Amino acid sequence: MRIAMIVHGGAWAIPDEQVEAHLAGCRAALAAGWAILERGGSARDACEAAVRLLEDDPTFDAGTGSHLTAAGTVELDAAMMDGQSLLYGAVANLRRVRNPISLAHRLLQGPATFLVGEGAEHFAAAQGITLCDNRELVVERERKLWEAWRASQAAAADRGAQSVMGGRDTVGALALDQSGNLVAANSTGGTPFKFPGRVGDTPLIGCGLYADAQIGGAVCTGWGEAIVRVALARRVVDLLERGLAPQAAAEAAVRILNRRVTGGAGGCIVLTPDGRPGLAWNTRRMAYAYRSGASDPVYGV
C-alpha cells in the first residue's frame, strides 16, 4: 500500500519575513509524520506527531504561540477523524492543554466525541496528560500584538470606529498508512483577539476536516465562520465522490467558499485513498508540505 501525507501551516497573508519559518515548520511536521508511516505506523499516530510538532512551534497559531483572545488568554481547539471507522474526537476552548491534538486522538475511543472547556481538561488529566498554566502558551510576539490591539481598540472607540488585525494560522494534516487508513487532524488557537469561548471550523467535523478512507479526506484553514457556512471539508469529499481529482476538488471547493461567502478567505488540503494530494487557497499564501509513495517531498508557501 502506498503511503502519503500532506500538512499545512495556515492560509493567510503570511509576511515575507515569516515565510522561511513556515516552510521549516511544515518540513519538520511532514518528516515527523512520514517517519512513522515509513516504519509501518498508523495514520493516526502520524497525524498526531505532525500536528504536535506544529503546536509546539511558536511560528503557528496552534498550541504554544497561538493568538490571544480579547481577554488576553489562549484558547485552543483541535480534532481528529479516522477514515476507516469514521470515529472522531474533537476538543475546544482548552486553556491548560499544551497539545490539544493528543487529547482529540484519545477521544476517538470515547467517552464522548466532542468535549469543551473544563470538562475536556478534566478528561485530559484523567488520561494522564499534564495540564499547563495558560501563560506558558503565550509568546512575546502575541502579547505585544494583543497590547497593540487593545490600545487601537481604545483609540477606535474614541473615534466611534473599530480596529481589526488579521492573521490565521490553523495547522492540519492528512495521512495514508500502509493498512489503507486515511486520517485527518487539525489544531488552532483561533482568530486574533476572538471573543472568549468562540469556536470556529477547526473541531467541527465536515467543516474543518473530514476523512473517509473509501473516498478521501480534507482539512481546511482560514476564516472559520465562512468555512462553517459552506461545510467546506465535506464539500471537498463530496466532490471527490463525484469523481473529481483531488486538485480539482480542492480548487472547486475554494471557489465555492469565495463565491458563496463574502470575505470567505481560506484554503484546504486533500488526500485520496491512492495517495494523490491536492491543495488550494484564495489568500496571499498557504504554507504546506506533502509526499506520496517514493516521490520526493514538496514544500511551498
Catalytic positions are: 170
Helices (H), 112-263: 117-126, 140-159, 224-229, 232-241, 246-260
For β-strands 4-12 and 285-292, DSSP reports them as antiparallel
DSSP calls for 102-129: HHHHHGGGSS-SEEEHHHHHHHHHHTTP
What is the distance between the terminal CA atoms of the chain, rounded to a whole angstrom?
Answer: 29
Contact present, 260 and 281 (Cβ < 8 Å):
no
Query: What dihedral do alpha carbons 102, 78, 47, 276 form, nearest 10°?
Result: 170
Contact present, 134 and 73 (Cβ < 8 Å):
yes
The rounded distance, in Å, linking the Cα atoms of 181 and 176 is: 6
Record the cell numbers describing residue 39, joined without a space.
Answer: 516504519
Query: What dihedral do alpha carbons 59, 45, 267, 28 form, nearest 10°?
Result: 40
DSSP lists the bridge partners of residue 267 as 221, 281
The rounded distance, in Å, linking the Cα atoms of 248 and 243 is: 10
The rounded distance, in Å, linking the Cα atoms of 128 and 115 is: 16
> Cα dihedral sign for 129, 135, 139, 145?
positive
Phi, psi dihedral angles at 31 (to 5 degrees)? -65, -40
Q: Which residue has the cell 469556536?
A: 199
